């Protein structure tokens, strides 16, 4: 399944290369909301909240009222998770807060799971150079993505794995790295990071892995208007 991504920064839809360089900004957020309305799942990430620079909660509420969303960005407390779910999100995505002192923070993972229910928790595990990275991909931890998902599995219903090495570069993703995560857990896995072509989406779909796509959609490289079979929606 293809899951389009809406990344919010300063009240606009943006796409960043490697999480840093601004490549695309579109102030017409609801043009994309309308375009994605037929998708059963859409991913919304509040980058301002993730970076500790305010938030786009009012906009998230509007989007979540129109689309079936999973929402992440700044989920550091159970109160924030409940706030997002109360805004209409179907699931919340937690990332950096699930790690402390170089290892999975199982106490917080359990607290989050107990507070909102395991079915509503997606654990984001990002990897660069074979190691988990947090804090906007700037802090590398001494564990692999497979290590992380094995530890966090009891406290979430799904994992979002981002292969940071290929994120935003439009050169394709790393299927083997994704499969290592898939083999490490019995939970559902969604992959992100450089997924560019329908062929990649379909290949992941046959493996039971959903694909989050951003840059390829916003640049027009992936044409959502062409009817497809299989793993498009």
In-domain check, residue 49: yes
Give the pLDDT confidence score for residue 15 in this predicted structure: 94
Structural domain for 157, as ranges: 2-218
In-domain check, residue 228: no
56/73 Cα distance (integer angstroms): 10
CATH number at residue 155: 3.20.20.70
Q: What are phi and psi of 117, to 5 degrees?
A: 95, 135
Q: Of 7, 46, 48, 210, which residue is the catalytic one?
A: 7
In-domain check, residue 232: no
Closest C-alpha to 63, from 80, 94, 79, 39: 39
In-domain check, residue 13: yes
Rounded to the nearest angstrom, the gap between the alpha carbon of residue 187 and the centroid of all alpha carbons in its chain is 15
7 carries an active-site annotation: yes
What is this structure's pTM? 0.93
pLDDT by residue (tens digit) across 66-112? 999 999 999 999 999 999 999 999 999 999 999 999 999 999 999 99
In-domain check, residue 196: yes
- Paired with 124 in beta bridges are 160
Give the pLDDT confidence score for residue 216 in this predicted structure: 95
Q: Of 46, 105, 126, 210, which residue is the catalytic one?
A: 126
End-to-end CA distance of the chain: 5
Residue carrying structure tokens 């359990």: 110
Q: Are 135 and 169 in contact (CB under 8 A)?
A: no
In-domain check, residue 224: no
Tokens representing residue 204 in the block: 């992941």
Tokens representing residue 190 in the block: 């969604």
User: Quick check: 48 pLDDT over 60?
Assistant: yes
Q: Are 68 and 45 in contact (CB under 8 A)?
A: no
pLDDT by residue (tens digit) across 114-166? 999 999 999 999 999 999 999 988 899 999 999 999 999 999 999 999 999 99
Q: Are 32 and 15 in contact (CB under 8 A)?
A: no
In-domain check, residue 140: yes
pLDDT by residue (tens digit) across 182-205? 999 999 999 999 999 999 999 999
Number of domains into which the chain is organized: 1
User: Quick check: 226 pLDDT over 90?
Assistant: no
In-domain check, residue 231: no
Extended strands (E) in the chain: 2-9, 12-17, 21-26, 42-46, 69-72, 91-94, 99-100, 103-104, 121-128, 131-134, 139-140, 158-163, 188-192, 209-213
- Paired with 7 in beta bridges are 45
Give the pLDDT confidence score for residue 227 in this predicted structure: 45
Cβ partners under 8 Å of residue 226, min gap 6:
none
């Amino acid at each position: 399944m293809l899951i389009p991504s809406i990344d919010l920064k300063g009240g606009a839809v943006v796409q960043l290369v490697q999480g840093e360089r601004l490549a695309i900004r579109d102030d017409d957020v609801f043009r994309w909301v309308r375009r994605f309305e037929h998708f059963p799942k859409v991913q919304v990430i509040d980058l301002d909240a993730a970076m500790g620079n305010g938030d786009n909660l009012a906009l998230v509420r509007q989007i979540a009222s129109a689309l079936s969303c999973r929402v992440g960005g700044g989920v550091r407390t159970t109160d924030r998770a409940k706030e997002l779910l109360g805004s209409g999100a179907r699931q919340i995505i937690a990332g950096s807060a699930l790690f402390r002192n170089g290892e999975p923070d199982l106490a917080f993972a359990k607290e989050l799971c107990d507070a909102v229910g395991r079915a509503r928790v997606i654990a984001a595990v990002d990897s660069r150079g074979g190691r988990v990275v947090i804090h906007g991909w700037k802090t590398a931890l001494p564990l692999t993505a497979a290590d992380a998902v094995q530890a966090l599995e009891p406290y979430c219903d799904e994992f979002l794995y981002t292969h940071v090495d290929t994120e935003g570069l439009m050169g394709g993703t790393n299927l083997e790295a994704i499969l290592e995560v898939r083999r490490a857990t019995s939970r559902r896995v969604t992959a992100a990071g450089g997924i560019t072509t329908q062929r990649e989406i379909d290949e992941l779909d046959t493996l039971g892995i959903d694909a989050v796509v951003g840059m390829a959609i916003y640049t027009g490289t992936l044409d959502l208007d062409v009817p497809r079979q299989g793993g498009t929606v």
